[in-house]
Structure 1
Amino acid sequence: MTAPRILTLYSSGRTTHSASRELADRLSQALAGDADAIVTRDLVANPLPFVDEAFVDAAFTPPSTRTEAQIEALRVSTEVMNELMGVDHVVIATPMYNYSIPAALKAWIDLVARANETFRYVFDDGDPYVEGLVKNKTVWIVMPTGGTALGSEIDYATGYLKYVLGFMGMTDVRFIDAAGWREFDDARKDGLREELKALAASA
């Protein structure tokens, strides 16, 4: 049996003492087991470019007619998109900033969401619809917050992530709820750490 391949994304502004990074690492390692099959991308230490006019023009040009300049405009996007397509599990370490996701993670989403690459519009005899093209992946979202309850009326992060990932075909999205992590006592933190191992074992 082939070992699962894992892509771990970090988006916390904290590079040390980060709950989301710690928990994501534990989950990724549990998913990988003894295999050296984890690809990591630190979206804060190595930020991705934002979408600009050159990107939009290139993305909406058919691949067969793209110029060298357009191919270069999509180079980083193609790199992160290929990373995504090449794994079985995606582990996203993200805090909740101002009730939503960090800009670093939004930049990654904007680069991997490409028409006719990770999703396509389908027009048939009925109403047009979108088909996601990123199949057979499990996405784990590790989300500590300063106390905002996941799923509450002021949580604008989890609903968006579930929708936009599903839009690209990633419908198996699982949240690791660490709301209020910094207020957890040691026993509760250790309990969540052990829970991650159990979740990975059952994946």
Structure 2
Amino acid sequence: MTAPRILTLYSSGRTTKSASRELADRLSRGLAGDADAIVTRDLVANPLPFVDEAFVDAAFTPPSTRTEAQIEALRVSTEVMDELMAVDHVVIATPMYNYSIPAALKAWIDLVARANETFRYVFDDGDPYVEGLVKNKTVWVVMPTGGTALGSEIDYATGYLKFVLGFMGMKDVRFIDAAGWREFDDARKDALREELKALAASA
């Protein structure tokens, strides 16, 4: 049986003592069962470019008529889309910054959300609608916070992630709630680590 393929995304500004990185690593290893099946992308250590005019022009040009310069403008976007399409699980390690997601993670979303690649507009006899093209994937969002409760009225991260990932076809989005991680005692941290092991085993 082939090991599930995992894409792990890091978006915390911390490279050491990062709760989201630690928990995501634990979950990814449990899901994969084979370290070679895990692809990691550190969105902070190796930041992605922001969308610019060259990108927009290229993205809205039909593929058959794109110039070499336009293909190059989309190169990184195509690379991260290909990574996404090739895996079975996506593990997103993200803190909550100012009640939302880090800019590094938003840059990844902006590059993978491309019309006719990860979603498409469908026009039929009824009302037009969007069809997500990223199918058959489970997304795990590991989100420690400084205390903001996930799902609360000041949480602008989880609702956005669930919507935008679902927009691209990823409907199975599971949040690992580590709100208030800094205040957890050792027993509670260990309990969450064990919970991750159980979740991975049952996936």
TM norm. shorter chain > 0.5: yes
Q: Secondary structure at the match of 1:9?
A: strand
Structure 1 contact 138–170 (Cα < 8 Å) conserved: yes
How far did 1:42 drift?
0.2
How far did 1:35 drift?
5.0
TM-score w.r.t. the length of structure 2 is 0.99
Structure-to-structure mapping, 1:150-169, within 5 angstroms = 150-169=150-169
Structure 1 contact 3–35 (Cα < 8 Å) conserved: no
Q: Deviations over 1:106-155 (max 9, x none)?
A: 00000000000000000011110000000000000000000000000000
Q: How many residues align?
A: 203
| Range with bigger deviation, 28-37 or 156-165 | 28-37
CA gap of 1:155–1:23, structure 2 versus 1, over 3 A, is same
CA gap of 1:92–1:57, structure 2 versus 1, over 3 A, is same
CA distance in 1, matches of 2:13, 2:89: 23
How far did 1:36 drift?
1.7
TM-score w.r.t. the length of structure 1 is 0.99
Q: Deviations over 1:43-93 (max 9, x none)?
A: 000000000000000001111110000000000000000000000000000
How far did 1:183 drift?
0.3
* Paired position in structure 2 for 1:53: 53
* Paired position in structure 2 for 1:121: 121
Q: Deviations over 1:160-193 (max 9, x none)?
A: 0000000000000000000000100000000000
* Paired position in structure 1 for 2:173: 173
CA distance in 2, matches of 1:170, 1:189: 29
Gaps of 5+ in 2: none
Structure-to-structure mapping, 1:1-203, within 5 angstroms = 1-34=1-34, 36-203=36-203
CA distance in 1, matches of 2:85, 2:66: 22
Q: Secondary structure at the match of 2:141?
A: strand
Structure 1 contact 118–134 (Cα < 8 Å) conserved: yes
Structure 1 contact 94–144 (Cα < 8 Å) conserved: yes
| Range with bigger deviation, 26-35 or 4-13 | 26-35
Structure 1 contact 142–177 (Cα < 8 Å) conserved: yes
Gaps of 5+ in 1: none
How far did 1:2 drift?
1.4
How far did 1:34 drift?
3.3
Q: Secondary structure at the match of 1:36?
A: helix
Q: Secondary structure at the match of 1:24?
A: helix
CA distance in 2, matches of 1:8, 1:116: 24
Q: Which runs of 4+ in 1 moved over 6 A?
A: none
CA distance in 2, matches of 1:34, 1:24: 15
How far did 1:25 drift?
0.2
CA distance in 2, matches of 1:73, 1:67: 10
CA distance in 1, matches of 2:55, 2:122: 23
CA distance in 2, matches of 1:154, 1:21: 23
